[in-house]
């Protein structure tokens, strides 16, 4: 399809459209619009969007990333909380026949029903420049519901992206890394500075891609493993044994913790931050 006017993704057209509609950016909704076409192309490329793909975009805003996604994909379903953007989108997304916008809070929506309606039998690709104030709830909601999703490619705070993609032993490695990595393989695709947005966010950003795993790590009780992981990172300076025995939600004695760590072939002084996901799964299966 020919690019409709105004084509967004640059500071000039974005400020003009905001001015034209006298739109005051709402900080409480994390509204930082992308104004760099290179970054927008990069997101579409990192998400590997092609003409057969259905895309779920969270937070289309004034429709910037939506235009780029709709140029590449078969269909784009958007979920946006701020209905006051509707009059802007009526102009910026006019003429596109492959875009549907649902005006809802993404955390309250039945995403399974939405995906099944628009992408029956298939697996949708989630792509977004996320509102940073709810990055983790949105990601965990997408992952834990085990929705028919192929991948999630999102712009988030750089610091959160580094935590998600961290390796064991790295200072950023923690409960969030493992919570995401249980469901997906994560890769950092790009670093993005604040000047690529209008208004500029206070933090640096990064694009991260998460490919949903077809086969998860085998573990008898995934909920128990999650509790163990939470406990292991609750006090980073303590040893794993100390963290486990002092976690109220686990009810594990020091002897049981020591025996399990020894059975894994690890020293008694080991800290949680050095264990990989398969090691946490093994620990979970050994502990009572
Ligand atoms: N996609 C646009 C872009 O890249 O320029 C805007 C991205 S902006 C960082 C985040 C968008 O998410 C805003 O449009 C905001 O209104 C929307 N948003 C915030 N909270 C939301 C929620 N709970 N559900 C759906 N959309 C939300």
Ligand 1 geometric centre to CA of 27 (Å)? 10
Q: Looking at the structure, tell me whether residues 256 and 133 fall in a common domain.
A: no
Give the count of domains, the chain.
2
Q: Looking at the structure, tell me whether residues 186 and 256 fall in a common domain.
A: no
Say yes or no to pLDDT of 31 above 90: yes
Candidate from 29, 67, 114, 204 with most ligand 1 atoms within 8 A of CB, to mutate = 29
Boundary (domain end) residue, out of 212, 236, 251: 212
Is residue 269 in a domain? yes
Q: Looking at the structure, tell me whether residues 63 and 192 fall in a common domain.
A: yes
Say yes or no to pLDDT of 182 above 70: yes
pLDDT > 90 fraction of the chain, expressed in percent and rounded? 94
Mean pLDDT of 179-191: 97
Mean pLDDT of 186-199: 98
Rounded distance between C-alpha atoms, residue 262 and residue 241, angstroms: 10
Q: Looking at the structure, tell me whether residues 81 and 174 fall in a common domain.
A: yes
Confidence of residue 196 (pLDDT cuts 50, 70, 90): very high
Mean pLDDT of 174-188: 96
Rounded distance between C-alpha atoms, residue 79 and residue 103, angstroms: 6
Q: Looking at the structure, tell me whether residues 154 and 205 fall in a common domain.
A: yes
pLDDT digits (tens, 9 = 90+) for 226-278: 999 999 999 888 999 999 999 999 999 999 999 999 999 999 999 999 999 99
Is residue 217 in a domain? no
Is residue 6 in a domain? no
The more confidently predicted of residues 120 and 79 is: 79
Mean pLDDT of 124-128: 98
Ligand 1 geometric centre to CA of 61 (Å)? 5
Q: Which domain holds residue 170?
A: 11-212
Is residue 1 in a domain? no
**C-beta of 30 in contact with ligand 1 (< 6 A):** yes
Confidence of residue 121 (pLDDT cuts 50, 70, 90): confident
**C-beta of 14 in contact with ligand 1 (< 6 A):** no
Q: What is the CATH number of the domain that holds 91?
A: 3.40.50.150
Q: What is the CATH number of the domain that holds 263?
A: 1.10.8.100
Ligand 1 geometric centre to CA of 37 (Å)? 18
Look over the chain and give the mean of its residue pLDDT values, rounded to a whole number. 95
Is residue 186 in a domain? yes
Q: Looking at the structure, tell me whether residues 105 and 158 fall in a common domain.
A: yes
Mean pLDDT of 175-185: 97
Is residue 169 in a domain? yes
User: Burial of 13 by CB count in 10 Å (0-12 exposed, 13-18 middle, 19+ buried)?
Assistant: middle
């Amino acid at each position: 399809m020919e690019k409709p006017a105004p084509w967004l993704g640059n500071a000039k057209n974005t400020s003009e459209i905001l001015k034209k509609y006298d739109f005051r950016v709402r900080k409480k909704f994390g509204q930082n619009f992308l104004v760099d076409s290179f970054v927008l192309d990069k997101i579409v490329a990192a998400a590997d969007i092609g003409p057969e793909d259905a895309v779920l975009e969270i937070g289309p805003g004034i429709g910037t990333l939506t235009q780029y996604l709709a140029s590449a994909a078969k269909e784009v379903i958007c979920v946006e909380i701020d209905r006051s953007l509707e009059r802007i989108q009526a102009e910026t997304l006019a003429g596109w026949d492959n875009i549907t916008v649902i005006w809802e809070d993404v955390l309250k929506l039945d995403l399974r029903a939405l995906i099944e309606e628009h992408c029956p039998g298939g697996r949708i690709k989630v792509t977004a420049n996320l509102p940073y104030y709810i990055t983790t709830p949105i990601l965990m909601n997408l992952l834990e519901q085990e929705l028919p999703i192929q991948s999630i490619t999102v712009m988030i705070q750089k610091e959160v992206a580094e935590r998600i993609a961290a390796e064991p032993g790295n200072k950023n490695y923690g409960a969030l890394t493992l919570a995401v990595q249980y469901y997906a393989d994560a890769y950092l695709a790009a670093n993005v500075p604040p000047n690529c947005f209008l208004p500029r966010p206070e933090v640096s950003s990064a694009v991260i891609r998460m490919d949903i795993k077809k086969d998860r790590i085998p573990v008898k009780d995934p909920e128990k493993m999650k509790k163990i992981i939470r406990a292991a990172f609750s006090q980073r300076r303590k040893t794993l044994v100390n963290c486990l025995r002092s976690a109220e939600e686990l009810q594990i004695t020091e002897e049981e913790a020591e025996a399990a760590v020894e059975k894994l072939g690890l020293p008694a002084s080991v800290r949680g931050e050095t264990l990989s996901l398969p090691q946490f799964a093994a620990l979970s299966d050994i502990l009572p």
